[in-house]
Structure 1
């Protein structure tokens, strides 16, 4: 194998590697977009959960007051 063949193989290898790097960059960009979308969805779910728990807490406190009043009426 001569110098020309070795140089050609090296250039071909670099071109193949460049193609792989470009495909990996596209795949990483796609994955990053998916991660950001999922992060937004998790934030919305956490917010909904906090709102639901806060409303349930208000109802539980109100329910506790009602049950105490009912207990006083029974006595």
Structure 2
């Protein structure tokens, strides 16, 4: 019986580990989607900043302008 019990314990451990791995995989997928969304937002902000810095006529007079450094 000892061998059967050990095998049953090992099998149940593998099943539990599989459930945990599947849970982690879904968590990683959600985090990746959040990262991609944030990356897209940063790209849009960078684009808006570049446009604003390249069009000085759009900036109101009296408002200090950011220096564009390369």
Q: TM-score range by the shorter chain?
A: 0.7 to 0.9
Structure 2: state its 5+ residue gaps.
58-70
- Calculate the TM-score normalised by the size of structure 2: 0.77
1:17, distance to aligned residue in structure 2 (A) = 0.4
Map of 2:40 onto structure 1: 40
How many corresponding residue pairs?
58
Larger radius of gyration: 1
Quick one: distance in 2 between partners of 1:23 and 1:42? 29
3-state DSSP class of the match of 2:17?
Answer: helix
- Calculate the TM-score normalised by the size of structure 1: 0.73
RMSD: 1.5
Structure with the higher fraction of residues in helix conformation: 1
Map of 1:30 onto structure 2: 30
Highest RCO, 1 vs 2 (Cα 8 Å, sep ≥ 6): 2
Map of 1:70 onto structure 2: none
After the TM superposition, which parts of structure 1 deviate over 6 Å for at least 4 consecutive aligned residues? none
Structure 1: state its 5+ residue gaps.
60-75
